[in-house]
């Protein structure tokens, strides 16, 4: 599994804090990445102890981990609809998250109410993650302090239809970004997502207006989904070396 950010202990605290929010009967969106994996493992322990939940995986990796933990699963298609249960909460990681805590020093004079924005997609799972996280009644982000920032400036992952690669690259450049095709680590060639698409990591520098950039990317033909998650998170569980700080949005 790909990991980024801070210590595993901090990630575990964040994941376990969010997993404690799951209650009997819930349908839970199961995020992707090393921090969300801690939440999935803790939910698995609770299922073993009698908790009645169903999980909606966001990726091949989260499905495999949840199945290993013997968490009953339901497809997103079966979770959403007129006679479907819905998703009570989703727990998912992030590559960058704007929090006031990260900006206390840097933000002198800036608004005390930070924009509710994340960068996700370090594991190339952001298309399904956004489907599940946005469909949930509550979306809990699990992170560590290394993910916190006053302004998003990490390259934004963009999942692209293979046939639209050049068209999308030009559109990203027109929007002020520099697209870099994500290469696979143990294969000659690009990363191919769970949906059979390619990923551009698009460097925009500091993203002053994540909402505007999100709107632009969403409107670009050939982009299946991008990793800017704006106004979706309800809580950020930030694990530290000693405890957990919960930021409510």
Ligand X SMILES: O=C(CO)[C@H](O)[C@H](O)COP(=O)(O)O
Angle, in degrees to the nearest 10, between helices 34-48 and 60-68: 30
Stretch that binds ligand X, among 82-90, 123-131, 194-202, 208-216 (CB under 6 A): 123-131
Helix (H, G, I), strand (E, B) or coil at 119: strand
Candidates 17, 32, 149, 193; binder of ligand X (CB under 6 A) is 32
- Among 170, 168, 171, 175, CA closest to 212: 175
Footprint on residues 55-114 left by ligand X (CB under 6 A): 92-95
Rg, C-alpha atoms of the chain: 18
Q: Does 5 bind ligand X (CB under 6 A)?
A: yes
Contact 24, 53 (CB under 8 A): yes
Consult the annotation and say whether 177 binds a ligand: no
Contact 194, 125 (CB under 8 A): yes
Catalytic residue among 64, 70, 106, 129: 129
Which CB, 21 or 85, lies closer to ligand X?
21
- Among 90, 82, 75, CA closest to 134: 90
Q: Does 125 bind ligand X (CB under 6 A)?
A: yes
Q: Does 126 bind ligand X (CB under 6 A)?
A: yes
Q: Does 237 bind ligand X (CB under 6 A)?
A: no
> Phi, psi (5° rounding) for residue 69?
-85, 0
Q: Does 3 bind ligand X (CB under 6 A)?
A: yes
Tokens at 235, concatenated: 């809580």
Smallest gap from residue 237 Cβ to ligand X (A): 12
Smallest gap from residue 186 Cβ to ligand X (A): 18
DSSP per position, 17-59: HHHTT--TT-EEEE--SHHHHHHHHHHHHHHHTT---EEEESS
Instruction: Please say if 129 is a catalytic residue.
Output: yes
Q: Does 46 bind ligand X (CB under 6 A)?
A: no
Q: Does 191 bind ligand X (CB under 6 A)?
A: no
Residue corresponding to tokens 């969010």: 18
Which CB, 33 or 114, lies closer to ligand X?
33
Stretch that binds ligand X, among 65-73, 125-133, 196-204, 233-241 (CB under 6 A): 125-133
Scanning 136-206, the segments in alpha helix (DSSP H) are: 165-174
Which x/- pattern over 197-236 shows residues binding ligand X (rule: CB under 6 A)? ----------------------------------------
Consult the annotation and say whether 92 binds a ligand: yes
* Terminal-residue alpha carbon distance, the chain: 29
Which residues line the annotated binding site?
A: 32-35, 92-95, 120-123, 147
Would you tell me which residues interact with ligand X (CB under 6 A)?
3-5, 31-36, 92-95, 120-126, 129
Residues belonging to the active site: 129
């Amino acid at each position: 599994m790909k990991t980024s950010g801070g210590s595993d202990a901090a990630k575990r605290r964040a994941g376990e804090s969010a997993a404690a929010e799951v209650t009997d009967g819930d349908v839970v969106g199961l995020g992707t990445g090393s921090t969300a994996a801690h939440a999935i493992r803790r939910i698995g322990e609770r299922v073993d102890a009698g908790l009645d939940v169903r999980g909606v995986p966001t990726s091949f990796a989260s499905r495999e981990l949840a199945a290993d933990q013997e968490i009953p699963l339901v497809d997103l298609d079966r979770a959403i609809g007129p006679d479907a249960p819905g998703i009570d909460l989703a727990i998912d990681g992030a590559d960058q998250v704007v929090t006031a805590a990260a900006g206390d020093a840097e933000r002198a004079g800036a608004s005390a109410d930070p924009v509710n924005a994340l960068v996700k997609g370090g594991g190339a799972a952001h298309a399904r993650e956004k489907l599940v996280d946005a469909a949930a009644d509550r979306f809990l982000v699990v992170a560590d302090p290394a993910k916190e920032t006053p302004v998003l400036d990490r390259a934004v992952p963009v999942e692209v239809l293979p046939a639209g690669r050049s068209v999308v690259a030009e559109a990203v450049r027109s929007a002020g970004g520099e697209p870099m095709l994500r290469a696979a680590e143990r294969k000659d060639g690009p990363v191919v997502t769970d949906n059979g698409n390619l990923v551009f990591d698009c460097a925009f520098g500091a993203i002053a207006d994540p909402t505007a950039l999100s709107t632009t990317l969403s409107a670009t033909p050939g982009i299946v989904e991008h990793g800017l998650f704006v106004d979706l998170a309800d809580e950020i569980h930030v694990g530290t070396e000693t405890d957990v700080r919960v930021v409510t949005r």
